Structures are given as C-alpha cells and as structure tokens.
Amino acid sequence: MDTITLAGPLEAKLAAIRAAGFTQVMLNANDLAGHPGGPGAAIDAVRKSGLRVTGFQVLRDFEGLSGHLHAYKVDIAKAMLEMCRALGSRVLLACSSTSAHATGGFDSLAKDLQKLAMLAIPYGIRIAYEALSWGRHVNEYPQSWDIVAEADRSNLGIAIDSFHILAMRTGPERLEEIVPGKIFLVQLADFMWREIRSREERIDTARHFRVFPGEGVHSAELAELVRTLDRLGYRGDYSFEVFNDDYTQLPVAVVAERARRSVKWLTDQVSRRSLPLRGASTLRG
C-alpha cells in the first residue's frame, strides 16, 4: 500500500497496512518531512513496523531544466536521495516533468536522467522514471522507456502507473519492447469514469478520484495489464497508488480493508500461478 491513500499519523497508517496483511509500504517524502517527531522519528516508525519499503516518492520536474533551475533541482534530488537512503528504500520515484521551463529535447532529458542515476549510485538507489499523464513532454510510458533506454544506466528504469495508462488510453502493446528488468516499480489504481476530456481533468481525477483495482470501470484493462507484465517476466513490486479524497476521511482500517479486498480481486483475475507473489500487493502467507 501507499501511505498517500490513508489519513492520519504515519504510525497509524503503518499499523493499518500491516494489520491488513501487507508486507510492504510505499512512502512519501511528506511522511518524513511532516512527521511531528522529525524525519528520524518517521524512519524509526517505519523500521519498527517491520514493513519493507517498496519505494520513496516523489521527485518532480527534475529533467529538462538548465542553469540555476537545474542546479536547484539537483539540490532537491540530493536531499531526496538522502531521505531515501535513510529510509532504506532502494527505489526513488521520479515523475516526468510538468514544468513550462523544461525542454523536450530527447538528448537533454536522457542526459539529466543519467545525472540523476549517477547521483543515486553511491547510495545504492534505483531511479524509477514515470510518465505522468500530464507531463509536459513525456506523458506515456513508451516515451519514458525510450529515454531510459537511451540513457542506458543500470540503476535507471521506468515506473508503470496504471492510472496514467488508462487515462491516456495507451495500449499495452509497447510493453513488449521493454526489458522486464528495467521496470523498477508498478503502481496500480483505477478510476470511476470512462471519459477524461482534458489535461486538467486528468490531473483532477488522478489527485482526488482514484480507486483500488477492482473498484473502478477499467477492471478488464487493469487485469490485462498485470497479466501482460507477468507474462513478459516482470517480477518486481506492485503498489496501490490510490489518491482518493474519500479514503483520506475514512478510518485507516476501513480503507486498508478495501485494499485487502482489491488484492483478492487481483488474485482472482490473474491466475494464482502467475500472480507475482513477491509483490507489494501480495498478502502474507
């Protein structure tokens, strides 16, 4: 599960995630920065929870900048990498840039991601580059894969988020081109309507109206996505990336229970043999 789905203090989120049977948690930078006891207390809480950290999010708008904007973002990236390391997270999620100041030059984007990957090497962190569906120049996973393939760094891969794929109606065909080991994270979420007409509507839906797999209207596509990833050999982590305003005003146990039911739904959709058992969405035992 992802802490962004739940309300309340970090400790309560972790306990609810654990109680629902999950073994991993995706953490947000605010979980550390906003903890009343400071980042150290947040890291302690995560350690004590016994949950493995799936990844840490999110570095925004890193690539494509120049001059002082680039230097500023490098500083931000370094600070986030240090938090990521302190947490014991092996993955930092970096979203494609939405900045009006960012260039779309392919070589420039690849070069910046190479630099980010280099910054992450001494800390043993992998960069998962995600195509945000409202990204300025990169908004579908085939584009993010093209850049990652061009950058060609061992600790640089892509993150797949089903929301953005469904929102952009990107077909799963081009997943076939991706080296399975270069997908560093898969985030799953659905939403509850078929039509998204504008960029603004995509952002709004993504930030407030996502639901767990099995709760939305793209169940068939979602199940197909997971089956395809599995067939192609993806054996990495899955996490529920569900931003939902209703869920953040419900008791954490209620929401975690919905997440647990979503795992059950996914398990039923994808044959037990091929379900990724090590996934973040997988129940213990």
Partner 1 sequence: MTLQEQLPEPSNPLGIDGIEFIEYATAQPQALGALLQRMGFLPVARHRSREVTLYRQGAMNLIVNSHAAKEATPTLSALALRVRDAGYAWRHAIDLGAWEMPTRASAMELNIPGIHGVGDSLIYFVDRYREFSIYDVDFVFETDANPKPPALAGLHYFGVVQSIYGERTRDWVDFYRTLFGFSVLPEGQYFGVLPKGTLLESPCHKFYLQLIEPPPGSEDIHWDEALVRIGLGAPDVPAATQALKERGVVFVDRGPVQPSEKGALTQVYLGGVTFELVVSR
Residues within the interface to partner 1 (CB under 8 A): 78, 114-119, 121-122, 124, 153-155
φ, ψ at 140 (rounded to 5°): -140, 150
DSSP code string of 187-228: EE-B-S-S---SHHHHHHHHHHB-B-TTSSS-HHHHHHHHHH
Minimum CB separation of residue 120 from partner 1 in Å reads 8
Q: Which is nearer to partner 1, 61 or 215 (CB)?
A: 61
SS3 of 91, please? strand
Minimum CB separation of residue 38 from partner 1 in Å reads 21
How far apart, in whole angstroms, are the C-alpha atoms of residue 235 and residue 217? Answer: 26
Q: Which is nearer to partner 1, 137 or 153 (CB)?
A: 153
Q: Which is nearer to partner 1, 123 or 265 (CB)?
A: 123
Q: Which is nearer to partner 1, 108 or 155 (CB)?
A: 155
Q: Which is nearer to partner 1, 53 or 165 (CB)?
A: 53
Q: Any residues with CB less than 8 A from the CB of 151 and at least 6 apart, and which?
A: 110, 111, 113, 114, 117
Minimum CB separation of residue 155 from partner 1 in Å reads 5
Minimum CB separation of residue 43 from partner 1 in Å reads 20
How far apart, in whole angstroms, are the C-alpha atoms of residue 78 and residue 106? Answer: 23
Minimum CB separation of residue 134 from partner 1 in Å reads 27
φ, ψ at 126 (rounded to 5°): -105, 140
